[in-house]
Amino acid sequence: MRVAAGRSAAVVEGLWVSYRHTWRATLVSSFLSPLLFLLAIGVGLGARIDSGGPVEGLTYAAFVAPGLLAATCMQVATFEATYPVMAGIKWFGTYRSILATPVGVPDLVAGRVAWIALRLTAVAAVFMVVTIPFGVSSGPLAVLALPAAVLTGLAVAAPIEAWAASRDDEQGFVGLFRFVILPMFLFAGTFFPVSQLPDWLQPVAWITPLWHGTELTRGFMTGAPDPLVPLHLAVLLVLAVAGTLAATVTYRRRLEP
Amino acid sequence: MSTPPAEHPLIAARPTGTGPAVEAVGVVKRFGDFTAVAGIDFAVAPGETFGFLGPNGAGKSSTMRMVGCVSHPTEGTMRVLGRDPRRDGPEIRGRLGVVPQQDTLDGELTVMDNMYVYGRFFRLPRAEVRARSAELLEFVQLADRATAKVDELSGGMKRRLTIARALINRPELVLLDEPTTGLDPQARHLLWERLYRLRADGVTLVLTTHYMDEAEQLCDRLVIMDRGRIVAEGGPAELIRRHAARDVVELRLPAGAEPPSGVLEELADHVERLPDRVLLSTDDGDQTLAAVIGRGVAHERAVVRRATLEDVFLRLTGRTLVD
Amino acid sequence: MSTGLVVRVLPPALLGARRSALWVERQWVASRRIWLVLVSGAFEPLLYLLAIGVGVGALVGDVTYGGQPVPYASWVAPAMLAASAMNGAVYETTGNVFFRMRYSKVYDGALATPLEPRDLALGELIWALLRGAAYAVSFAVVMAVLGLMESWWSLLLVPAALLIGLAFAGLGLYAVTFMRSWTDLDLVQLVTLPLFLFSATFVPLDDYPAWAEPIVVVTPLYQGVALLRDLSLGSVGPATLGHVAYLVVLGLTGLALAGRRFSRMLVR
């Protein structure tokens, strides 16, 4: 497959133009929701938790903040990789008209992934800047939490994008959010250490992309990356790349049968 | 075309009573500053098929919504089936069948469930609704699509389903707002045929249309509406007789080759100049055409036809029905 | 009240209720095709209960309630039930109703029958409550299984959750009539998310800054959370009745206003 950077950039520009009409709808879920969670649970409930001692050596707010960052990227990316895909393929047919131009399927997929990466960068950057007063990030390595969170989102979004393009309708999306995304958000290390889960459940958490993403992001943000960084990176990169490749296949099957 | 069983219990043409099915006196409908209906009077007799003919924006749909008791006049009085829509809306609507201009089918339901749920809204017993739904789907030739989702239906099928749905409660009065707009000719004729059958069963039909052929084919009596007013009323043949000559000669003139003024006027009772053609109204089209040729009027094409309601509308308003 | 007045007032109200039941029946027929989505909706609050109540709860320890220490999971569970009742009612009466009112035209279809706009509003409200009741029952069962009910008053948790549903369904139905686009609809989240997070849901009211306390207390979800907590932790008193009254008044007011707005929107 060949990807032309210029043509992918054109795809990104197209997505940006349509986002300018809908951005307000994403304010709550992308920017406000993680902050409010941090305030209510990280700070509010954290005050009670901290009186019982640190969590994995951190204040509870410092523990939860990177978790929320990674999880928010996952949720935003999942949304971007589901409904807009159905809209492009089926509801509005925009992908077909895009492919009637010199843009090919690999350009389209690459452009979409790049677009999601841009969206996530904005989400992560705002979160990191706004949470500075909470003192939840420390050390120069904290800057790396941003790419880590973005990568987390892509590792989830790319395979989902491939899957979404193969769906006939949006019926499965609710199930995806309810049975895959929400359980990851709640149990893969965002709010409490995975070590608290029952023994049989811990391995399940370990194979989720969000756990790898959360560990990676938390390590950088708190200035103490754990020794498994290469493993986390490898898992997330493989998922993101394999998902993107798979998406070109499912896009082809759907749009160039 | 499948023929429904001989003893078709579809339509119990419930007699409407002695008074008019619909009666409007001085009805005005305004939306803010915009006047959709500017004072109209009409009465529909029980059992007749009554039409509103007019272009888009003439006020037909607003009138229909008021007859359907989902909108109330700003001024004037309206009585439907002898009752006051403002007070007895639910009771009146229980005796109406409504086919709105835009389909209001339930996209969350299948074809059969659309029939079922709608029938239940009239509080018909469940068993009766099921039996009647099956019959009516047969009537509109949709029986084989009973389990399909509404989205999967073509435009014509949706229209037919809407009509079947409107008949579920054995209505005494059926309102059809632009029933065939957007349909292909075949679907259109199928629909007309079904409407004839309803009329034959004695159901009172009130319809709007901007197709003059539809009005001519279906209506016993009609009013022509323009800009919220009624400009003429009568049977189709009567209206043509009263407001137009028997024949029309349509001439297509070569660009820039207008005959000297007055020439055409001498040959016809009335001359109507449209952007692309000239219409000559006359009692004998062939003779007039012969005269046109005899006078050496240059033309690219000439057609002789009978006058239609379109010509009536043109004569009365100076405008065409479909623009 | 004289019996004459009762006879005159009651029949239209009863007729309306009977017509609303027809809309509920429509909802039932429509839901058969999406039953999986509906059933799995019960799942979400349970996950929150496990993650926050049990998972984070292990870090929190006990909370003092009415002078007694209470395990965090028992303390937070009624709040989760209250939040789920709010979310369910709001979701059902805003997103779904918005779609039907602005896009799908099904209301217009129904209004060509004997149904009136206010019948639709009441029908939507009843449906939201029925759905909420199903979720509340499943949540209450899980609470019982996990041993999170501290009092026999907990038997009233489900009807009390329905009062929360009533209050928010009434509000939702009223609010939705003012929404013009999907972007407006997102404002709903802007209200429900802070309510979910800051209605003494996760930490006791005493933990809030002094200036915030009176604000929290007047919000409807706080009233619902407090009501359910009174029941499940067994400290029922006059204040409990106050919460009930608040929710009922709010719900009925919302419903009455919504009925009027539905008429103005749909019968023009």
Of B83, B96, A183, B121, nearest in space to C47 by CA:
A183
Sorted by where each begins, the domain ranges of chain A are 5-255
Q: How large is the average pLDDT for residues C81-106?
A: 91
Residue B2 has pLDDT above 50, yes or no: no
Give the span between the Cα atoms of C76 and C70, in whole angstroms.
10
Taking an 8 Å cut-off on Cβ atoms, the answer to whether C106 and B106 are in contact is yes
Q: How large is the average pLDDT for residues A178-190?
A: 94
User: Tens of pLDDT along A196-227?
Assistant: 999 999 999 999 999 999 999 999 999 888 89
Residue C38 has pLDDT above 80, yes or no: no
Count Cβ atoms within 10 A of the Cβ of residue C21 and give its class: 0-12 exposed, 13-18 middle, 19 or more buried: middle
User: Tens of pLDDT along B205-252?
Assistant: 999 988 888 888 899 999 999 999 999 999 999 999 898 888 999 888
Residue entry with tokens 């009013």 = B223
Alpha-carbon radius of gyration of chain A: 19
Two tokens, residue B53: 């003919």
The Cα angle at residue A184 between residues A180 and A190, in degrees rounded to 5: 165
Which of A7-16, B15-24, B300-309 is most confident?
A: B300-309
Taking an 8 Å cut-off on Cβ atoms, the answer to whether A187 and C201 are in contact is no
Q: How far is CA B159 from each of CA B70, B102, B167, B170, rounded to the nearest angstrom?
A: 20, 9, 13, 18
Chain A within 8 Å of C212 (Cβ-Cβ)?
no
User: Tens of pLDDT along B110-158?
Assistant: 999 999 999 999 999 999 999 999 999 998 889 999 999 998 898 889 9
Residue B323 confidence (pLDDT): 56
Taking an 8 Å cut-off on Cβ atoms, the answer to whether C55 and A187 are in contact is yes
Which of B168-172, B198-202, C8-12 is most confident?
A: B168-172
Residue B261 confidence (pLDDT): 73
Tell me how close the Cα of C21 comes to any Cα of chain B, in angstroms.
Answer: 9
Give the span between the Cα atoms of A247 and C180, in whole angstroms.
36
Q: How large is the average pLDDT for residues A105-127?
A: 92
**ipTM of predicted assembly, 2 dp:** 0.88
CB C183 within 8 A of CB C98: no
* Other Cβ atoms closer than 10 A to B86: 11
Whether A contacts B, i.e. 3 or more CB pairs less than 8 A apart, is no
Average pLDDT, chain A: 90
Q: How large is the average pLDDT for residues A139-159?
A: 94
**Between residues B107 and B12, which one has the greater pLDDT?**
B107
| Contacts C19 to B, Cβ<8 Å | 90
Residue A72 confidence (pLDDT): 95
- Which of A36, A47, A175 lies nearest to residue C197, judging by beta carbons? A36
**Between residues B81 and C15, which one has the greater pLDDT?**
B81
Of A98, A108, C110, nearest in space to B120 by CA:
C110
Residue B318 confidence (pLDDT): 79
Residue entry with tokens 């209301």 = C107
Confidence grade of residue A248 (pLDDT, cut at 50, 70, 90): very high
Tell me how close the Cα of A46 comes to any Cα of chain C, in angstroms.
Answer: 8
Confidence grade of residue A1 (pLDDT, cut at 50, 70, 90): low
- Which of A27, A47, A187 lies nearest to residue C51, judging by beta carbons? A187
CB B74 within 8 A of CB B28: yes
Give the span between the Cα atoms of C166 and C91, in whole angstroms.
13
Residue B177 has pLDDT above 60, yes or no: yes
Residue in chain C lying closest to B98 (CA): C112
Q: Which of A6-10, A238-242, B218-222 has the lowest mean pLDDT?
A: A6-10
Taking an 8 Å cut-off on Cβ atoms, the answer to whether C113 and B94 are in contact is yes
User: Tens of pLDDT along C190-229?
Assistant: 999 999 999 999 999 999 999 999 999 999 999 999 999 9
Whether B contacts C, i.e. 3 or more CB pairs less than 8 A apart, is yes
Residue C259 confidence (pLDDT): 92
Confidence grade of residue A182 (pLDDT, cut at 50, 70, 90): very high
Residue A88 has pLDDT above 60, yes or no: yes
CB A192 within 8 A of CB C59: yes
Residue C12 confidence (pLDDT): 53
> What is the 8-class DSSP label of residue B9?
-
Domains and CATH numbers, chain B: 22-235 (3.40.50.300), 245-306 (3.30.70)
User: Tens of pLDDT along B22-35?
Assistant: 999 999 999 999 99
**Between residues B129 and C10, which one has the greater pLDDT?**
B129
Residue B11 confidence (pLDDT): 46
Q: How large is the average pLDDT for residues C124-151?
A: 92
Q: Is the dihedral of CA A122, A127, A132, A136 positive or negative?
A: negative
Alpha-carbon radius of gyration of chain C: 19
Q: How large is the average pLDDT for residues A57-69?
A: 95
| Contacts A39 to C, Cβ<8 Å | 197
Taking an 8 Å cut-off on Cβ atoms, the answer to whether A44 and C202 are in contact is yes
Give the span between the Cα atoms of A24 and A73, in whole angstroms.
17
CB A239 within 8 A of CB A155: yes
Please enumerate in sequence order all residues whose Cβ is within 8 A of that of A28, keeping only pairs 6 or more positions apart, or say none: C186, C189, C190, C193
DSSP codes joined into one string, B174-207: EEEESTTTT--HHHHHHHHHHHHHHHHTT-EEEE
Average pLDDT, chain C: 89
Residue B114 confidence (pLDDT): 96
User: Tens of pLDDT along B153-173?
Assistant: 988 899 899 999 999 999 999
Taking an 8 Å cut-off on Cβ atoms, the answer to whether A49 and C203 are in contact is no
HSE-CB for C20 with a 13 A CA cutoff = 20
Chain C within 8 Å of A87 (Cβ-Cβ)?
no
Taking an 8 Å cut-off on Cβ atoms, the answer to whether C104 and B108 are in contact is yes
Give the span between the Cα atoms of B108 and B121, in whole angstroms.
16
Of B139, B209, B149, B215, nearest in space to B170 by CA:
B139
> What is the 8-class DSSP label of residue C53?
I
Q: How far is CA A115 from each of CA A16, A154, A163, rounded to the nearest angstrom?
A: 8, 10, 18
Q: How far is CA B54 from each of CA B50, B228, B305, rounded to the nearest angstrom?
A: 13, 10, 22
* Other Cβ atoms closer than 10 A to C241: 12
Rounded to the nearest 10°, the torsion over CA A114, A120, A123, A127 is: -130
Confidence grade of residue B8 (pLDDT, cut at 50, 70, 90): very low
Give the span between the Cα atoms of B184 and B196, in whole angstroms.
19
Residue C15 confidence (pLDDT): 58
